[in-house]
């Protein structure tokens, strides 16, 4: 930010506002400071960044932003690339550089996925993002949270005993139990718990399944039985839905 302020001072520009999204991805147009900057566009005339990839790493989003700036009568300035949006050649070169930045970002993503797939195939550690319900990540792997694991065990027991996904969600909500992110339970949240092989001691990544190091919550047999039950119940729901549709169509045809 100091370099940008010095640059603006050298150009004789006054600073209308400073916007920083620390740790946010340049691919996310919903980041807080970026959104606030666009909402406060009446405060500034030129959008100044150190490098183009600091504002966007996706050429589609960048192009959309440039179109908005043009409609609003605003200019764009990248100090390191030294582009001037008032000229056609400047806009053209800027678009080419942004596409290169997008290519580099996508290549990094591909390399990360290849590395994680290899890690999964070798059974080295855990993959994914965020702490799974019932555990938290630390240097030793997964540390169990017993109060949450009790909920996981109860969820499996309830489903096996015949309760539906919605009934289980309603029961947990009625007792004030919240999800990992502090939200209310929904049938999809319950379904994720029941279909996650992590709870039977396995890890899965890109169709690769390996035995994990943590202690399972339910047996593999129980997990497999639950998967079979979920498939059957889904199929039965679809059959009942199709039957209702046929009955309605039959009534209409008779009428």
pLDDT tens, 148-180? 999 999 999 999 999 999 999 999 999 999 999
For the cut 70, the answer to whether the pLDDT of residue 119 exceeds it is: no
Range of the domain at 211: 135-238
Point out the domain boundary residue: 120, 148, 180: 120
Shared-domain flag, residues 216 and 154: yes
Look at residue 250 and tell me if it is in a domain: no
Look at residue 251 and tell me if it is in a domain: no
Cβ atoms 193, 201 nearer than 8 A: no
Look at residue 182 and tell me if it is in a domain: yes
Look at residue 157 and tell me if it is in a domain: yes
Shared-domain flag, residues 193 and 231: yes
**CATH number, domain at 142?**
3.90.1750.20
Shared-domain flag, residues 99 and 207: no
Shared-domain flag, residues 108 and 142: no
Shared-domain flag, residues 7 and 116: yes
pLDDT tens, 71-102? 899 988 888 876 767 677 777 876 777 677 67
**CATH number, domain at 33?**
3.40.50.1390
- Rounded to whole angstroms, how far apart are CA atoms 35 and 28? 10
Average pLDDT over residues 40-52: 89
Look at the chain and count its residues: 255
Look at residue 141 and tell me if it is in a domain: yes
Shared-domain flag, residues 72 and 39: yes
Look at residue 130 and tell me if it is in a domain: no
Shared-domain flag, residues 8 and 116: yes
- The pTM assigned to this predicted structure is 0.48
Q: Number of folded domains in the chain? A: 2
Average pLDDT over residues 131-140: 82
Shared-domain flag, residues 13 and 112: yes
Shared-domain flag, residues 149 and 208: yes
Identify any residues that bridge with 137 across adjacent strands, giving them in sequence order.
142
- Quick one: pLDDT at residue 255? 43
Angle at 24 between CA 23 and CA 29, to 5 degrees: 165
């Amino acid at each position: 930010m100091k370099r940008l302020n010095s640059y603006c001072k050298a150009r004789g520009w006054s600073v209308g506002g400073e916007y920083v999204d620390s740790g946010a991805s340049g691919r996310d147009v919903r980041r807080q400071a970026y959104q606030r900057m666009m909402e406060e566009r009446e405060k500034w005339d030129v959008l100044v960044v150190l490098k183009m990839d600091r504002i966007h790493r996706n050429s589609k989003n960048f192009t959309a932003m440039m179109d908005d700036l043009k409609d609003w009568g605003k200019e764009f300035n990248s100090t390191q690339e030294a582009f001037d949006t008032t000229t056609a050649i400047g806009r053209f070169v800027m678009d080419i550089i942004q596409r290169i930045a997008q290519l580099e970002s996508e290549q990094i993503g591909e390399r990360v996925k290849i590395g994680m797939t290899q890690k999964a195939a070798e059974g080295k550690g855990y993959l994914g993002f965020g702490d799974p319900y019932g555990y938290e990540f630390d240097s030793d792997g997964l540390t169990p949270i017993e109060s949450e694991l009790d909920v996981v065990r109860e969820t499996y027991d309830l489903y096996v005993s015949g309760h539906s996904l919605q009934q289980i969600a309603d029961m947990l909500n009625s007792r004030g139990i919240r999800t990992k992110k502090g939200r209310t339970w929904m049938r999809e949240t319950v379904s994720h718990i029941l279909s996650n092989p992590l709870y039977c001691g396995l890890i899965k990544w890109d169709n690769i399944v390996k035995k994990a190091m943590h202690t399972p919550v339910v047996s593999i047999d129980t997990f497999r039985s639950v998967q079979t039950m979920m498939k059957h119940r889904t199929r039965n729901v679809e059959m009942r839905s199709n039957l209702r549709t046929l009955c309605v169509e039959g009534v209409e045809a008779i009428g």
